[in-house]
Amino acid sequence: MAQLQRLVITASQIDRQQIVLTAEQQHYLSRVLRLRSGDQFIAMNGQGQGWLAALESDRAQILEPIHAHSELSISVTLVLALPKGNGFDDVVRQATELGVTCIAPVISDRTLLNPSANKLERWRRIAQEAAEQCERQIVPEILDPVSWNDCLQIESSDSDICRLICLARGNSPHLLNYLNKSVCPSITLAIGTEGGWTDAEIEGAIAAGYQPISLGRRILRAVTAPIVALSLVAGVLERMKNEE
């Protein structure tokens, strides 16, 4: 069943045992994927539920629920200072592949440009497509961008989160050491822009409960650091499952 095509639908599209397809979804299934009437695909609501479905012109028949397990066992939020250029597209795509739950873009002191509403719309579409491709049940949420200070205030209200800020230089403990020694009910990872965080931003984060950590001895680009951090988080969570 793994090789079946996937499509994200909204809850309001479900009418008893049928899915009412939008014109765009009909086009995608019939013209792009070339499915015919009766062909099966997987419909996901993007929030953890999925169904095996069979195409029937402008609708699809729900055949059975699907129980898949490709999600991480805890919630992982990526707080990311917006990098320059189109780097964020790749980060959203790859972070989705690595199981991220939520991406919070922040405007830091070294962010060059505020993103347009079009960009946000684009990142949400990329997250949805990547979730379909990598066979996840959840589509990561992309929050509206806020300033770093606002982000620290929103975040600090929940004391159950392990909050980590990745620093390129200095002698912070390695993320893998931290993960091996800690039990985290959920994780927030904050990663800076090309120029790194400013001293004031790092001080603000530590005051708000963030622990500084290292991703290794080389200087990673802003688009690489989040993928490295999420690889280690997903690796530690899934290594444990793999051993059971």
Enumerate binding residues for a second copy (CB under 8 A).
2, 69-70, 90, 93-94, 97-99, 133-136, 169, 173-177, 180, 214, 216-221, 224, 227-228, 231-232, 234-236, 238-239, 241-243
Cβ of residue 179: shortest distance to a second copy, in angstroms?
9
Strands (E) in 82-210, as ranges, are: 102-107, 141-142, 146-147, 161-166, 186-191
- Which CB, 56 or 90, lies closer to a second copy? 90
Cβ of residue 234: shortest distance to a second copy, in angstroms?
5
Taking residue 69's Cβ as centre, other Cβ atoms within 10 Å add up to 7
- Which CB, 105 or 226, lies closer to a second copy? 226
Cβ pair 6, 46 in contact under 8 A = no
- Which CB, 97 or 201, lies closer to a second copy? 97
Cβ of residue 40: shortest distance to a second copy, in angstroms?
18
- Which CB, 19 or 95, lies closer to a second copy? 95
Cβ pair 122, 175 in contact under 8 A = no
Cβ of residue 237: shortest distance to a second copy, in angstroms?
9
- Which CB, 34 or 69, lies closer to a second copy? 69
Question: Tokens in use for 158?
Answer: 């929940």
Buried b (16+ CB within 10 A) or exposed e, 194-223: bbbbeeebbebbeebebebbbbeeeebebb
Q: What are the φ and ψ backbone dihedral angles of 132, each rounded to 5 degrees?
A: -65, -45
Cβ of residue 221: shortest distance to a second copy, in angstroms?
7
- Which CB, 36 or 69, lies closer to a second copy? 69
Cβ of residue 196: shortest distance to a second copy, in angstroms?
11
Residues 120 and 67: their CA atoms lie apart, in Å, by 30
Q: What are the φ and ψ backbone dihedral angles of 189, each rounded to 5 degrees?
A: -110, 120
